[in-house]
Amino acid sequence: MTDIWEGLVQAVLLIITLDADLLEISARSLYVTVTATLIAAAIGLPLGGWLAVYRFRARRGVIAVLNALMGLPPVVVGLIVYLLLSRSGPLGVLGLLFTPTAMIIAQVIILTPLIASIAHQALRELWAEYHDLLISLNTTRRQRIVTLLWDARRALLTAALAGFGRGIGEVGAIMIVGGNIDQATRVLTTAIALETGKGNFALALGLGFVLIAIAIGVNLAIHFASRTEVSSRW
């Protein structure tokens, strides 16, 4: 209990004093996760719409695989991305290992199935509602997907936020591909892991509280900016 209290005090102090390290680590955490979430959403949302609208032989199998990939172990993703980006790997020539870009790549792989799967669930229900109307209006398949994405945008925002939530708290993959290098690839989660390893529990908890505050803050900001609750009664 004392550690938790001390952690809370430490977190307040770090924030009040605008600790330079904290600001840098927090900014990098946000940069990596927001970028990864945007890329994963750009891939996952249309993929969810495509799976909702198109009928093809392997569709159920693809959906089952996508759902299974939601539980993809981040450490395994990190290992695979590490092997791909390492000097001897097929993409080693790009020199991306131990950079924020490598961390973004790993997070995109983790977040895309999650966002696509949640989006598919929401769009499948809306497609069932719109199916006859959109066929009757002689729309193309592309128009159907665009219409579903637009009309379900609030539900899809929730999918993107779920992706952000998973990304901001992720440690296994980015630790492996980022290397937790000070001033280069250290983010809040890897810093927490480092401080815990050093037995510096108060600072680790302080960083943890900052991480929670950022996650909640981003969610609330988007929630209010998009007026999710106010306009939810469609």
Is 55 a binding residue for other proteins by CB under 8 A? The answer is no
Task: Record the tokens describing residue 142, joined without a space.
Answer: 């592309």
| Residue among 145 and 174 whose Cβ is closer to other proteins | 145
Is 234 a binding residue for other proteins by CB under 8 A? The answer is yes
Helix 59-69 vs helix 100-136: crossing angle, to nearest 10: 140
State the binding string over 142-161 for other proteins (x if CB under 8 A, else -). -x---x---xx---------
| Residue among 2 and 232 whose Cβ is closer to other proteins | 232
Is 68 a binding residue for other proteins by CB under 8 A? The answer is no
71: exposed, middle or buried (Cβ count in 10 Å: 0-12, 13-18, 19+): exposed
Minimum gap (Å) between residue 58 Cβ and other proteins: 23
- CA pair distance 129, 149, nearest whole angstrom: 14
* Residue 94 per-residue DSSP state: G
Is 129 a binding residue for other proteins by CB under 8 A? The answer is yes
CB 19 within 8 A of CB 11: no
Binding site for other proteins (CB under 8 A): 126, 129-130, 132-133, 135-139, 143, 147, 151-152, 231, 233-234
